[in-house]
């Protein structure tokens, strides 16, 4: 597992100083206290009412006083561990390393064989999980697409079962919309680790819950977040204000809106389940006034994401964010340069987890090729993040004396020992001469990535779940399908 060292000088870039962060924090407290947030859940409103908020139950509006925000911040843990089905893949979110996560919840895929765009199916999800499981750079698997060939009310359960079965890494997801779904998902995850108490001790799943900008918490996802928190499953709220549409046009103003949504979610969860593990997150971006769309691949998206990392450190919370985002519709130049731009700042801003790998078209389209390419882009950023180590061994003065003018270092032991540590060796990027590249078939990067994806799917097999566990998971899903379909 590759972890990016976030303690190096390069991995500590700053967009805002302490004074600016203080200003955002105080502006957020004022918004929470005077404007408030809409909370559609009666359960969550009751929790806030009992905690001391001013609540208008008719309007579903809660005004949150600053002292409750402060109390919630003192209750939450500063550090958490995202456990995995195989403990070797556990991730300690302690601020010293940054890990990568796949992007998730897409609805379409480009078929690996035909090249045609179509709705995603459960088989595609299993394929994406296997590829992600193989890629060393990826630490967390987010179900990249949804099983649209399965019944809609129980689709999230099919997605979770397939994810756990096809990766040994931590599984993070976002599609849970009701507390009933959450309870069934908890049952499925508990089966994989040996029971609900073990899941609470070693949560192999975590759940993201999108807020609705500006300043609104939807009923179902909020109640699902409460359910997960009481089961010990880490949760986080994901604000997505669009600067100029669902947030102020200024990036600072949209940051305040997103921060208010995050902190109000923190208050709800910490009042409902004190000490529950939580992360801080944001996927704020800008609204393209020309095309009237949310932007995934804009430089503003990268800036806003980096700022939310600084707010996470300000509040001493583990953090996760989008990154490597693009509006491109196919793998290619636009996808690569937008993913490089939107991924660089989050990587160097010091997040615990940066996501976004593998999806195109504003986070809706999965292609195996792009997942492979994104891992290479991330590897290059990882190399940059290491910086240059300067000590007696790396200065190599004795070796320079030994080789002298006109010599070469190719056969030296020192070269072999430091080659992989200090040099990025690409799997996709072609560094051959033009003649050698042409002789080998003139493959494009996308073609090379497609070949690599097929090799992984042919050769890599994650450790399977025990047969009785698979059987019980299937029974839970069938039970859930009956119940959830009745409820729709």
CATH number for the domain that contains residue 171: 3.20.20.480
- Radius of gyration of the CA atoms of the chain, in A: 23
CB 100 within 8 A of CB 378: yes
Q: Quick check: is 84 in a domain?
A: yes
Q: Quick check: is 61 in a domain?
A: no
In tens, the pLDDT along 383-407 reads: 887 788 899 999 999 999 999 999 9
Local structure of 275: helix, strand or coil: coil
In tens, the pLDDT along 17-29 reads: 999 999 999 999 9
Q: What is the mean predicted confidence (pLDDT) over 17-44?
A: 98
Q: Is the pLDDT of residue 9 over 70?
A: no
Q: Is the pLDDT of residue 2 over 70?
A: no
Q: Quick check: is 173 in a domain?
A: yes
Distance, CA of 89 to CA of 416 (rounded, Å)? 28
Q: Is the dihedral of CA 320, 325, 330, 334 positive or negative?
A: negative
Q: Quick check: is 43 in a domain?
A: no
Q: Is the pLDDT of residue 169 over 80?
A: yes
What is the C-alpha end-to-end distance of the chain, expressed in Å?
41
Q: What is the mean predicted confidence (pLDDT) over 350-373?
A: 94
Q: Quick check: is 212 in a domain?
A: yes
Residue 246, phi then psi, degrees to nearest 5: -105, 15
Segments forming the whole domain that contains residue 182: 4-16+73-386
Structure confidence at residue 43 as a pLDDT band (50, 70, 90): very high
Contacts of 284 by beta carbon, 8 Å cutoff, 6+ apart: 239, 240, 241, 242, 243, 247, 254, 255, 257, 258, 301, 304, 305, 308
More confident residue, 385 or 52: 52
pLDDT at position 263, please? 98
Q: Is the pLDDT of residue 7 over 80?
A: no
Structure confidence at residue 11 as a pLDDT band (50, 70, 90): low
More confident residue, 31 or 427: 31
pLDDT at position 123, please? 97
Structure confidence at residue 4 as a pLDDT band (50, 70, 90): low
Q: Is the pLDDT of residue 117 over 70?
A: yes
Q: What is the mean predicted confidence (pLDDT) over 154-179?
A: 96
Angle of helix 122-134 relative to helix 155-166, nearest 10 degrees?
A: 30
pLDDT at position 345, please? 82
Q: Quick check: is 29 in a domain?
A: no
Query: Of all residues in the chain, what percent carry a pLDDT higher than 90?
Result: 81
Q: Quick check: is 38 in a domain?
A: no
Q: Quick check: is 55 in a domain?
A: no
The domain total for the chain is 1
In tens, the pLDDT along 301-331 reads: 888 888 999 999 999 999 998 889 999 999 9
pLDDT at position 243, please? 92
Structure confidence at residue 40 as a pLDDT band (50, 70, 90): very high
Whether the predicted model's global pTM rises above the 0.85 cut? yes
Q: What is the mean pLDDT of the chain?
A: 93
Q: Is the pLDDT of residue 170 over 70?
A: yes
Local structure of 62: helix, strand or coil: strand
Report the C-alpha dihedral over residues 122, 125, 126, 128, rounded to 10 degrees: 160
């Amino acid at each position: 597992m590759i972890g990016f060292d976030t303690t190096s000088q390069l991995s500590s870039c700053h967009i805002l100083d302490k004074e600016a962060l203080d200003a955002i924090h105080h502006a957020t407290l004022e918004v929470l206290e005077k404007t408030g947030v809409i909370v559609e859940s009666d359960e969550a409103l009751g929790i806030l009412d009992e905690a001391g908020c001013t609540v208008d139950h008719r309007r579903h509006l809660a005004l949150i006083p600053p002292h409750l925000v402060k109390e919630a911040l003192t209750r939450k843990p500063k550090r958490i561990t995202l456990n995995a089905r195989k403990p070797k893949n556990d991730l300690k979110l302690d601020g010293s390393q940054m890990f990568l996560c796949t992007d998730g919840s897409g609805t379409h895929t480009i078929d690996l064989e035909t090249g045609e765009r179509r709705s995603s199916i459960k088989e595609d999800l299993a394929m994406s999980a296997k590829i992600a499981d193989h890629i060393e750079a990826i630490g967390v698997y987010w179900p990249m697409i949804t099983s649209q060939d399965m019944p809609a009310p129980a689709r999230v359960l099919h997605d979770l079962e397939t994810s756990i079965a096809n990766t040994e890494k931590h599984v993070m997801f976002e599609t849970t919309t009701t507390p009933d779904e959450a309870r069934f998902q908890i049952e499925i995850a508990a089966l994989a680790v040996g029971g609900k108490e073990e899941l609470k001790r070693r949560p192999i799943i975590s759940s993201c819950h999108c807020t609705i900008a500006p300043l609104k918490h939807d009923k179902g996802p909020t109640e699902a977040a409460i359910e997960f928190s009481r089961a010990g499953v880490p949760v986080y709220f994901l604000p997505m204000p669009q600067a100029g549409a669902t947030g102020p046009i200024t990036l600072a103003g949209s940051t305040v809106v997103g921060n208010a949504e995050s902190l109000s979610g923190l208050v709800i969860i910490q009042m409902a389940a004190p000490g529950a593990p939580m992360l801080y997150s944001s996927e704020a971006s800008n609204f393209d006034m020309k095309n009237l769309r949310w932007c995934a691949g804009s430089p503003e998206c990268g800036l806003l994401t980096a700022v939310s990392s600084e707010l996470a450190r300000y509040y001493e919370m583990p953090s996760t964010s989008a990154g490597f985002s693009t509006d491109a519709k196919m793998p290619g130049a636009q996808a690569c340069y937008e993913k490089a731009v939107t991924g660089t700042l989050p990587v160097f801003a010091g997040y615990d987890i940066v996501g976004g790998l593998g999806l195109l078209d504003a986070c809706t389209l999965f292609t195996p090729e792009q997942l492979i390419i994104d891992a290479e882009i991330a590897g290059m950023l990882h190399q940059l993040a290491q910086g240059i180590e300067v000590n007696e061994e790396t200065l190599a003065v004795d070796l320079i004396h030994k080789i002298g003018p006109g010599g070469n270092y190719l056969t030296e032991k020192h070269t072999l020992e430091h080659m992989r540590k200090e040099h990025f060796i690409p799997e996709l990027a072609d560094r051959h001469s033009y003649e050698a590249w042409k002789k080998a078939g003139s493959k494009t990067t996308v073609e090379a990535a497609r070949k690599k994806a097929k090799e992984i799917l042919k050769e890599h097999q994650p450790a399977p779940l025990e047969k009785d566990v698979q059987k019980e998971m299937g029974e839970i899903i069938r039970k859930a399908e009956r119940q959830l379909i009745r409820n729709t």
